[in-house]
Every structure is written in structure tokens, then in C-alpha cells.
């Protein structure tokens, strides 16, 4: 079955540690996205990539980094520079073009203490 | 930058009645797409309906319809015959070169 996988579902880290969230898709989509969602809030765009080896900052990129070495994979690293990293992180992918919806992974809930 | 506004943090509707969730957007582009997603308490994002900026007809998908008023830059979601399973967060989104979401509306369907 085609889809998007994010692992792990729950992640716990100590403050000051970098952590990498995984996102893999087998939908053959060109575009991939990372969003952050805080409790009761909407989705805020962190980074997106329209093509391999290229990515752009979203609205809240500070303290995060990404790579896009393969079409299928778009990992997100939450660095120690991110002041409030505890949140729900959603990865999405889509075909390029305004008429294509995004497909979402199940999300990773990150807790940093 | 594009902006999506959902002014209703929470809405209540009686089972089997219709409900409208509001969404306005701001863009200077002529070409864009508008989307609605549902997020149950499980956290998954479920695509509901799409409307293109050049589409003249309002989009419909089963019990969902999108009331698109381009001049007013609004794209309201109408859910007919509400069901208990419709209780969830609903997000409006707009796509130009990326996808941006509104803050969401929490819909509660009462039996």
C-alpha cells in the first residue's frame, strides 16, 4: 500500500539534544512538507521541498534543519536551538501543482524535558 | 505571504443538521487551490474537498460542499446531515507554491 510513514510515533528527548524525525513516502510524490502543530492550534509550515536536493524555509524554520537526498525521504532535525520543541510534527507529500491535495503521515509527538 | 483565517474556534451542531464552517483567505495570485481537511482526535489529517480558483462551480463531495465566493475571498465548508463522527477539528488550507493552513475550527456534533 502506498503512503507516508513517520517514525517513531512518540519521541522523548532531553533538552539540549538534537533529534531527527523520519518521514518516508512511496507515493512517488515530488513535493514534501513538514508542519508543526501545537495543542489546539493549526499547522505551521517548517520546511518544504519541491524536488530532490532543494528545499525552502517555511514560516517557522528557525531551530530546524532538513535534507532531501532521496525523493522518498525528507527527515527533519530539531536542533537544540529550537526554544520550544515539544509539539506534534506532521509530514506530508503531494504532486506539484495547486490542484493536488497533500497526503499526511500519522505524525510524531515529540516531548522535550 | 498568503494567509488563511478561520474565525470560529468552536462550533456546535445538532445531529442531522447542516453546519457551515467559515474560511477567508488573502492572496494576490490569480491561480490557487483551496482545501479542507478533517483532523479527528487521533491526529490524522483527512482530505475532504478541493476548489480551484478558476472553478466556476462549487465543489461537492458527498455530504461536503464548498461555498466559494471568489470576490469575497471566502471558501466556507458546508456539512449536511451532521453525524456524531463529524466531531473533529477542521482546517481550511490554500495552495500556491506551498500549502498554508488556518487555525482550525473544532466542531462538536450533539446527539
Q: Distance between CA atoms of B61 and B24, rounded to whole angstroms? A: 20
Structure confidence by residue, pLDDT tens digits, B87-99 = 999 999 999 888 9
pLDDT at A25 over 80: yes
Q: Distance between CA atoms of A110 and A78, rounded to whole angstroms? A: 10
Structure confidence by residue, pLDDT tens digits, B5-48 = 999 999 999 999 999 999 999 999 999 999 999 999 999 999 99
Q: Distance between CA atoms of B90 and B69, rounded to whole angstroms? A: 19
Chain B contact for A55, CB < 8 A?
no
Q: Distance between CA atoms of B12 and B110, rounded to whole angstroms? A: 7
Backbone angle region of B95, left / alpha / beta, with phi > 0 → left and psi within -120 to 50 → alpha: beta
pLDDT at A104 over 70: yes
Q: Distance between CA atoms of A4 and A103, rounded to whole angstroms? A: 7
Residue B2: the pLDDT is 60
**CB neighbour list of residue B56: distance below 8 Å, 6 or more residues apart:** none
Residue B110: the pLDDT is 97
Q: How far is CA A62 from CA A58, A66, B31, in A?
A: 9, 11, 29
**Per-residue pLDDT averaged across B46-59, rounded?**
96
Residue B72: the pLDDT is 96
Q: A18: distance to nearest CA of chain B, Å? A: 24
Contact A109, B54 (CB under 8 A): no
Concatenating the DSSP letter of every residue in A10-62 gives EEEE-TT--EEEEEEE-S--SEEEEEEE-TT--EEEEEEEEETTEEEE-TT-T
Partner-chain contact A98 B1, CB within 8 Å: no
State which residue of chain A sits closest to B98, comparing Cα positions.
A48
Residue B1: the pLDDT is 58
Please provide the average confidence, as pLDDT, over all residues in chain A. Answer: 94
Find where cell 508543526 sits.
Answer: A36
With beta carbons under 8 A apart, name residues in chain A contacting B45.
90, 92, 102, 104
Residue A99: the pLDDT is 85
State which residue of chain A sits closest to B89, comparing Cα positions.
A40
Cell numbers standing for residue A69: 537526498
Whole-angstrom distance between the N-terminal and C-terminal Cα of chain B? 41
Return the DSSP state at B49: E
Return the DSSP state at B85: G
Q: B97: distance to nearest CA of chain A, Å? A: 7
Structure confidence by residue, pLDDT tens digits, A31-68 = 999 999 998 889 999 999 999 999 999 999 999 999 99
State which residue of chain A sits closest to B99, comparing Cα positions.
A45
Our CA angle for B53, B2, B7, nearest 5°, is 90
pLDDT at A75 over 70: yes
Amino acid at each position: 500500500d502506498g503512503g507516508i510513514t513517520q517514525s517513531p510515533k512518540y519521541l522523548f528527548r532531553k533538552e539540549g539534544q538534537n533529534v531527527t524525525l523520519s518521514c518516508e513516502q512511496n507515493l512517488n510524490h515530488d513535493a514534501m512538507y513538514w508542519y508543526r502543530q501545537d495543542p489546539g492550534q493549526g499547522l505551521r509550515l517548517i520546511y518544504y521541498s519541491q524536488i530532490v536536493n532543494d528545499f525552502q524555509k517555511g514560516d517557522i524554520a528557525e531551530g530546524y534543519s532538513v535534507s532531501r537526498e532521496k525523493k522518498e525521504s525528507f527527515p527533519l532535525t530539531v536542533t537544540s536551538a529550537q526554544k520550544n520543541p515539544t509539539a506534534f510534527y506532521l509530514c506530508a507529500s503531494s504532486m506539484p501543482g495547486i490542484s493536488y491535495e497533500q497526503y499526511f503521515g500519522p505524525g510524531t509527538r515529540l516531548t522535550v524535558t | 505571504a498568503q494567509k488563511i483565517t478561520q474565525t470560529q474556534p468552536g462550533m456546535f451542531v445538532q445531529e442531522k443538521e447542516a453546519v457551515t464552517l467559515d474560511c477567508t483567505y488573502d492572496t494576490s495570485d490569480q491561480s490557487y487551490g483551496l482545501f479542507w481537511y478533517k483532523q479527528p482526535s487521533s491526529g490524522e489529517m483527512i482530505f475532504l474537498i478541493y476548489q480551484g480558483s478558476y472553478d466556476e462551480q462549487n465543489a461537492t463531495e458527498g455530504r461536503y460542499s464548498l461555498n466559494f465566493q471568489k470576490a469575497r475571498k471566502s471558501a466556507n465548508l458546508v456539512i449536511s446531515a451532521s453525524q456524531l463522527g463529524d466531531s473533529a477539528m477542521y482546517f481550511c488550507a490554500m495552495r500556491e507554491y506551498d500549502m498554508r493552513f488556518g487555525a482550525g475550527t473544532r466542531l462538536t456534533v450533539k446527539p
